Amino acid sequence: MPNVASFHDATTSQRRLSAKDSGVIVLNESRFDMKAVYVKRYGSPSDLQVGDVPTPALHDSRKHRANVLIRVHAAGLHVGDCFSVRGAPFVVRMETGWLRPTTGIPGYDFSGVVEEVGESADGFDVGDEVFGYCLGSCAEFVAVADDKLARKPQGLSFVEAAALPTSGLAALHALRDVANLQAGQSLLINGASGGVGTFAVQIAKAFGVEVTGICSGLNAALVQSLGADHVVDYNREDFTDAGQQFDCILDNVENRKLYEIRRALKPTGTLICNSGTGASGVAFWVRLLKPLIVSPFTTQRLCRYLSVPTRQDLEVLSEMVNDKKLKPVLSEVHTLDSVADALHMLESGRTVGKRVVRVIET
């Protein structure tokens, strides 16, 4: 692979090129290869291989905007990366490619340094330390839209910052936008020690909410250290049959029947279902749709939601980190060569906090 520094020196500091091609402004062309983890066809994480692939080109069009090139330092992983590698549930192919993977590179979350800026990009310069969201982050470079990007929080390493985007935003959007939680209300988090759960505990406490976390006894001390008011060991107590009811339940596991978990929800409470694992085929669609079908016939709100990353909300996370209200919990730091192992571990459902890939040593 050509030396990145020499490539940078060979062009201007801002490298703003433009050439119209069928209505799409191509801001740069792929000039050298990068190291990445990828699959050529949908399959198991074991099918992932490490090799050289073309660096992504910057584009600017209504359908596809990728106007900032990032030198990736670290990539965050979550269970959605397993879906993108397998192409299942089938609905994920709307983003990753119907018949074959569009890029085949897993990873949505990243942190790194701005390498190149397109003409339409706003608010970023070469050399800025950033974090954000873009499919294909398990690689040395990603081309990302400037509205899916924010400056890296002060005091966080690149590895820590890469853990923030997808899981942090999922927690923020669930509690702030879907549940509209207010100070003094009660929240139960099923899966409080996982990627979304660890962020949800902290965000809820920042909102002044009373938090009960469900996790194994092994992780109880961690969840309590994040601010949870109460921690329930699911091996010792059945939270659906304890007689207590909550204003909101964030269910990151969905390992209980709908009627069971509704017993722990107040008559006008909100249940937010947030797990895509544990079911396939018809069973997946039944589990996906059942809360939405039942919800109109009850006073309880039974919800699913789509967490859409924006620069504004990435900046909210960054501000919470800088204000010491939020911190990533890391399970293990991997290399590009061990991404397959990391994804298998995520599929097991036993990961505490976040798994992150260190792409380059810093």
User: Is a pLDDT exceeding 60 seen at residue 18?
Assistant: no
Provide the pLDDT for residue 301.
99
220-261 pLDDT per residue, tens: 999 999 999 999 999 999 999 999 999 999 999 999 999 999
Average pLDDT over residues 157-182: 99
Pairing of strands 33-38, 49-54: antiparallel
- Model pTM? 0.91
**Lowest-confidence region among 16-20, 121-125, 299-303:** 16-20
Which of 13 and 195 is assigned the larger pLDDT?
195
Name 115's Cβ contacts closer than 8 Å, sequence gap at least 6: 8, 69, 70, 71, 126, 141
Q: What angle do CA 239, 245, 248 make, to 5 degrees?
A: 95
Provide the pLDDT for residue 5.
36
**Residue 147 near residue 59 (C-beta atoms within 8 A):** no
Provide the pLDDT for residue 31.
60
**Residue 96 near residue 84 (C-beta atoms within 8 A):** yes
- List, in order of start, the domains of the chain with CATH numbers: 4-164+328-358 (3.90.180.10), 167-303 (3.40.50.720)
- Report d(CA 307, CA 316) in Å as an integer: 14
Provide the pLDDT for residue 278.
64
User: Is a pLDDT exceeding 90 seen at residue 357?
Assistant: yes
- Report d(CA 193, CA 200) in Å as an integer: 10
User: Is a pLDDT exceeding 90 seen at residue 174?
Assistant: yes
- Report d(CA 208, CA 185) in Å as an integer: 8
190's enclosing H/E stretch is strand 186-190
Q: How many Cβ atoms are within 10 Å of 293's Cβ, its own excluded? A: 10
Give the pair of three-digit tokens for residue 280.
């396939």
Question: Cα torsion at 250, 253, 256, 262 (round to 10°)?
Answer: 10
User: Is a pLDDT exceeding 90 seen at residue 13?
Assistant: no
Provide the pLDDT for residue 362.
65
Q: Using only C-alpha atoms, what is the Rg of the chain?
A: 21
Average pLDDT over residues 116-128: 96
Strand partners, 11: none
User: Is a pLDDT exceeding 70 seen at residue 19?
Assistant: no
Residue 278: phi and psi, rounded to 5, are 90, 5
pLDDT band at 130 (very low <50, low <70, confident <90, very high): very high
pLDDT band at 60 (very low <50, low <70, confident <90, very high): confident
Question: Cα torsion at 288, 289, 290, 295 (round to 10°)?
Answer: 120
79-114 pLDDT per residue, tens: 999 999 999 999 999 999 999 999 999 999 999 999
CA 307 from chain center: how many Å? 9
